[in-house]
Amino acid sequence: MAIDKDVIVVGAGFAGLYSVHKLRNELGLDVQAFDAGGGPGGTWWWNRYPGARCDFESIHYQYSFSDEVQRDWEWTERFAGQPEILRYLEFVAEKYDLLRSFRFRTRVISVVWDDEGQFWTVSTDDGASTTARYVVSGAGSLSAAKHLEFTGLEDFRGQVLRTNEWPAEPVDLTGKRVGVIGTGSTGIQVIPEVAKVAAHLTVFQRTAQFASPLGNEPVEPEQRRWLADNHEQVRAGSRMNFLGAPYERPRPSALMDSPEERRKTYDEFYGKGGFRILASTYGDLLFNKASNDTIADYLRDRIRDRVDDPKTADLLCPTDHPYGTKRAPFETGYFEVYNRDNVELVDVSSSPIERLTETGLKTATGEYELDIVILATGFDVFTGPLMRLGIVGRDGLTLEERWADGPRGYTGLQMHGFPNLFVVAGPLSATALYNNALSIEDHVDWIHGAIRHVREQGATTIEPTVEAEQAWGELCSGLVDLTLLPQAASTWYMGDNIVGKPRVAYVFPGGAPLYRAITDQITDRGYGGFSIDGSAVPVPP
Ligand code: NA7
């Protein structure tokens, strides 16, 4: 039976677009790509809510593979908004003629391995099936919305808006009674925008967050010129940094400094904005609770400085998790929102949301009349986007069955039992704690190299050995246990923002430079830890 395509790519975000470029334009393969959205952009196509912006600097959160793109594209803001990032991805897609390989508004509903023919059959919601030797998932890590614990959405007579599926046409919130559920990175971006126009805004907060200033500002023309001329050096600096930007190096420990020196350091980096407060202050913040307490105390003090009402300030001060163990959000005027007369903060930690009613929202102890409810309730991170692809591997084993106790995979890029299936920015990779744009390039470059290698060998399949996968899982758990991540009550880094999801390591927290060194070494040593056409390549001593 003839196989339709060499490769099927899922997704048209940073990962899917770059995969099509590398595998079609560079490797010359026949590629078919699908995306459920109406155009390129991935995350940046779906998340159009007011205030949506990347909280990693745009000059770093971009592709590095093309000199031309880096020279020709000019960011206008230090942290670009969603429309600008979408335009950037459209610009790249056009420059590299990527869109002709995509079918948009087409959702992948199943991906099934045929062991006899050694190919995948990918079925889509338009009723079509396409076969291919390889499948690359660029379905993203934060793209499957979390299933809600409360009910009544269909009873509510007002409008329910989901931040991750925000309507393309403008939504008028002026003069409305709006409720926002969720105070993660998304809620913290959307809340100040809603507060400006709503008649009344009720924020339902379950967990207070250690938000710190984003520090957005325009990119000046001379900065743009400097960057265009120096992008190689900037990118090299990013790739050597734990978080993926050429930030100043931190001092080793917060406990080395006196309280006065620490305060000065935190003031300086609080003022500089974004991830610098984590990346450039002290190197042990995510490893040493006593050090972490110093920044947690500092951030709580700053919240109290900015919020007029002491009771509201108390509610906004996180107490149940160390700083950074839930993904740190960055804000623009967020805390001042609570000094406005039209904004009310409702604590739903002790009095959970029970349901939406016809006229609003009911918690265990109160009822709130609302015209619009905005859900900023987060994602089934890493595993959710893959599970909903309906993946069935060798011997009819589904991904759900294989991952019942948590994700497995060698380097996060491939899983045993799922030959020729590659995952970009998936669980157990370094993605979560690193500049996503660069980490996606690293992953796709590796996948490109692996497929090229298999083909050059005259072989057909590649998959990791069960032993390599097991060892990688143990490495990730061991490293996670060295961090403070397990001390958060609930965090998507550990999977437990979702009720019933296994609480295990979902990330490789060793940093992207180490991750890249490991994956490069795998390539250099002939793919030890993988089986090619069913024969395990020996791992050199
Ligand atoms: P997050 O960070 O997972 O935040 C989701 C928020 O929604 C968080 O405050 C949750 O509270 C809250 N939530 C979820 N379910 C409920 C219920 N049932 N009741 C009340 N509150 C609820 O997702 P975001 O979209 O903000 O950010 C995702 C990523 O985007 C971010 O990490 C960056 O990488 C960019 P909880 O904390 O679980 O108590």
Query: Tell me, what's the ipTM?
Result: 0.99
> Residue 450 has what pLDDT?
98
Ligand 1 centre to CA of 33 (Å) is 30
Report the C-alpha dihedral over residues 74, 79, 82, 83, rounded to 10 degrees.
-30
> Residue 539 has what pLDDT?
79
> Which pLDDT band holds residue 175 (cuts at 50, 70, 90)?
very high
Ligand 1 contacts CB of residue 327 (under 6 A): yes
Mean per-residue pLDDT, 427-456: 96
Instruction: Count CA within 13 A, CB hemisphere, residue 212.
Output: 26
Each residue's pLDDT tens digit, 70-81: 999 999 999 999
Mean per-residue pLDDT, 183-187: 98
For the chain, give me the number of helices (H) and strands (E)? 15, 21
Ligand 1 contacts CB of residue 51 (under 6 A): no
pLDDT exceeds 90 at position 541:
no
**Residues near 267 by Cβ (< 8 Å), separated by ≥ 6?**
none
Phi-psi region of 11 (alpha: psi -120 to 50; beta: other; left: phi over 0): left
Closest CA to 13 of 42, 47, 45: 42
Task: Pick the residue whose CA is nearest to atom 37 on ligand 1.
Answer: 207
- CA separation for the pair 356, 446 (Å, rounded): 46
DSSP secondary structure letter of residue 418: S
Ligand 1 contacts CB of residue 187 (under 6 A): yes
DSSP secondary structure letter of residue 22: I
> Which pLDDT band holds residue 228 (cuts at 50, 70, 90)?
confident
Ligand 1 contacts CB of residue 207 (under 6 A): yes
Kindly state the tokens that stand for 150.
């409360």
* Ligand 1, pocket-test mutation among 377, 431, 434, 485, most atoms within 8 A of CB: 377
> Residue 477 has what pLDDT?
97
pLDDT exceeds 80 at position 328:
yes
Ligand 1 contacts CB of residue 149 (under 6 A): yes
Ligand 1 contacts CB of residue 400 (under 6 A): no
Ligand 1 contacts CB of residue 318 (under 6 A): no
The percentage of residues in the chain with a pLDDT greater than 90, rounded to a whole number, is 95
> Residue 538 has what pLDDT?
85
Ligand 1 contacts CB of residue 43 (under 6 A): no
Indicate which atom in ligand 1 lies nearest the CA of residue 207: 39
> Which pLDDT band holds residue 62 (cuts at 50, 70, 90)?
very high
Mean per-residue pLDDT, 439-443: 96
Task: Pick the residue whose CA is nearest to atom 36 on ligand 1.
Answer: 207
Range list of β-strands (E), 206-263: 212-213
> Residue 164 has what pLDDT?
98
Ligand 1 contacts CB of residue 353 (under 6 A): yes
Ligand 1 contacts CB of residue 320 (under 6 A): no
Mean per-residue pLDDT, 176-199: 98
Q: Spell 398-433 as b/e; 16+ CB within 10 A means b.
A: ebeebbeebbbbbbbbbbbbbbbbbbbbbbbbbbbb
Task: Pick the residue whose CA is nearest to atom 38 on ligand 1.
Answer: 497
Mean per-residue pLDDT, 311-322: 97
Ligand 1 centre to CA of 83 (Å) is 23
> Whole-number mean pLDDT of the chain?
96
Task: Pick the residue whose CA is nearest to atom 20 on ligand 1.
Answer: 206
pLDDT exceeds 90 at position 540:
no
> Which pLDDT band holds residue 209 (cuts at 50, 70, 90)?
very high
Ligand 1 contacts CB of residue 378 (under 6 A): yes
Kindly state the tokens that stand for 299.
């951030």
> Which pLDDT band holds residue 188 (cuts at 50, 70, 90)?
very high
Ligand 1 contacts CB of residue 431 (under 6 A): no
- CA separation for the pair 114, 272 (Å, rounded): 53
Token pair 């959000």: residue: 329
Ligand 1 contacts CB of residue 181 (under 6 A): yes
Bridge partners of 9? 33, 136
Mean per-residue pLDDT, 411-440: 96
Ligand 1 contacts CB of residue 507 (under 6 A): no
Its pTM stands at: 0.97
Ligand 1 centre to CA of 324 (Å) is 14
Ligand 1 centre to CA of 209 (Å) is 10
* Ligand 1, pocket-test mutation among 14, 165, 185, most atoms within 8 A of CB: 185
CB-based contact 35:44 (threshold 8 Å): no
Ligand 1 contacts CB of residue 497 (under 6 A): yes
pLDDT exceeds 80 at position 302:
yes
pLDDT exceeds 90 at position 489:
no
